[in-house]
Amino acid sequence: MVDLNENKQRDQWGSKLGFIMAAAGSAVGLGNLWKFPYLAGSNGGGAFVFVYLVLILLVGFTMMLAEIVIGRNTQLSSVGAYKKLNAKWGWLGGLGVLAGFLILSFYSVVGGWTISYIVKAITGAFNTADLDLLGGMFGGLIAGTLEPLVYHGIFMIITLLIVVGGVSGGIEKSTKIMMPALFVMMIMVMIRSLTLPGAMEGVKFFLVPDFSKLTPSVLLAALGQVFFSLSLGMGCMITYGSYLGKDEDIVQSSMIIPALDTCIALLAGFTILPAVFAFGFDPSAGPGLLFVTLPAVFSKMPLGTLFAVVFFVLVLFAALTSSISLLEVTVSYMVDEFKWDRKKATYIMSGIIFIVGVAASLSMGPWSHIELIGGRNIFDTLGFIAENILLPLGGMLMCIFIGWVWGLENAIKEASNEGKLAFKLAPVWGFLVKYIAPLAVLIVFLQSSGILKI
329-388-319-326 Cα dihedral, nearest 10 degrees: 10
Contact residue for ligand PFF among 242, 253, 271, 325 (CB under 6 A): 325
Q: What is the DSSP string of 273-338?
A: HHHHHHTT--TT-TTHIIIIIHHHHHHTSTTHHHHHHHHHHHHHHHHHHHHHHHHHHHHHHHHHHH
Q: How far from 291 is each of 141, 233, 284, 357, CA to CA, in Å?
A: 11, 28, 14, 20
Contact residue for ligand PFF among 326, 362, 378, 441 (CB under 6 A): 326
> How many residues of this chain interact with ligand PFF, rule: CB under 6 A?
16
Q: Does 73 bind ligand PFF (CB under 6 A)?
A: no
Binding to ligand PFF (CB under 6 A) within 354-373 occurs at none
Q: Does 242 bind ligand PFF (CB under 6 A)?
A: no
Query: Which CB sits closer to ligand PFF, 386 or 408?
Result: 386
Taking CB under 6 A as the binding criterion, the range among 25-33, 41-49, 51-59, 162-170 that sits at the site for ligand PFF is: 25-33
Q: What is the DSSP string of 375-415?
A: G--HHHHHHIIIIIIIHHHHHHHHHHIIIIII-HHHHHHHH
**What radius of gyration, in Å, describes the C-alpha atoms of the chain?**
21
Q: Which of 326, 336, 289 is nearest to 6 (CA)?
A: 336
Q: How far from 420 is each of 65, 247, 248, 414, CA to CA, in Å?
A: 17, 9, 11, 10
Taking CB under 6 A as the binding criterion, the range among 65-73, 188-196, 306-314, 320-328 that sits at the site for ligand PFF is: 320-328
Q: Does 385 bind ligand PFF (CB under 6 A)?
A: no
Query: Which CB sits closer to ligand PFF, 27 or 219?
Result: 27
Show the binding pattern over residues 270-309: x = contacts ligand PFF (CB under 6 A), - = does not.
----------------------------------------
Taking CB under 6 A as the binding criterion, the range among 43-51, 231-239, 247-255, 295-303 that sits at the site for ligand PFF is: 231-239
Q: How far from 123 is each of 35, 56, 187, 309, CA to CA, in Å?
A: 26, 40, 24, 10
Q: Does 443 bind ligand PFF (CB under 6 A)?
A: no
Q: Does 441 bind ligand PFF (CB under 6 A)?
A: no
Q: Does 221 bind ligand PFF (CB under 6 A)?
A: no
Query: Which CB sits closer to ligand PFF, 233 or 430?
Result: 233
Q: Does 241 bind ligand PFF (CB under 6 A)?
A: no
Q: Does 31 bind ligand PFF (CB under 6 A)?
A: yes
Q: Does 29 bind ligand PFF (CB under 6 A)?
A: yes
Q: Does 30 bind ligand PFF (CB under 6 A)?
A: yes
Q: Does 196 bind ligand PFF (CB under 6 A)?
A: no
Q: Does 66 bind ligand PFF (CB under 6 A)?
A: no
Residue type, 350: S
Q: Identify the DSSP state of 120.
A: H
| Tally of CA atoms within 13 A in the half-sphere of 87 that contains its CB | 0
Rounded CA-CA distance 124/294 in Å is 14
Q: Identify the DSSP state of 363.
A: T
CB of residue 20 vs ligand PFF: minimum separation in angstroms? 15
Which residues, 6+ apart, have CB-to-CB distance to 441 below 8 Å? 59, 223, 227, 233, 392, 395, 396, 399
CB of residue 238 vs ligand PFF: minimum separation in angstroms? 10
The torsion angles phi and psi of 285, rounded to 5 degrees, stand at -70, -10
CB of residue 100 vs ligand PFF: minimum separation in angstroms? 6
Q: Does 234 bind ligand PFF (CB under 6 A)?
A: yes
CB of residue 132 vs ligand PFF: minimum separation in angstroms? 29
Q: Which of 106, 129, 107, 125 is nearest to 116 (CA)?
A: 125
Query: Which CB sits closer to ligand PFF, 102 or 118?
Result: 102
Contact residue for ligand PFF among 13, 183, 228, 291 (CB under 6 A): 228
Taking CB under 6 A as the binding criterion, the range among 144-152, 318-326, 418-426, 443-451 that sits at the site for ligand PFF is: 318-326
Q: Does 349 bind ligand PFF (CB under 6 A)?
A: no
Q: 370 by DSSP, 3-state: which?
A: coil
Which stretches of the chain bind ligand PFF, using CB under 6 A?
A: 26-27, 29-32, 100, 103, 228-229, 231, 234, 236, 322, 325-326
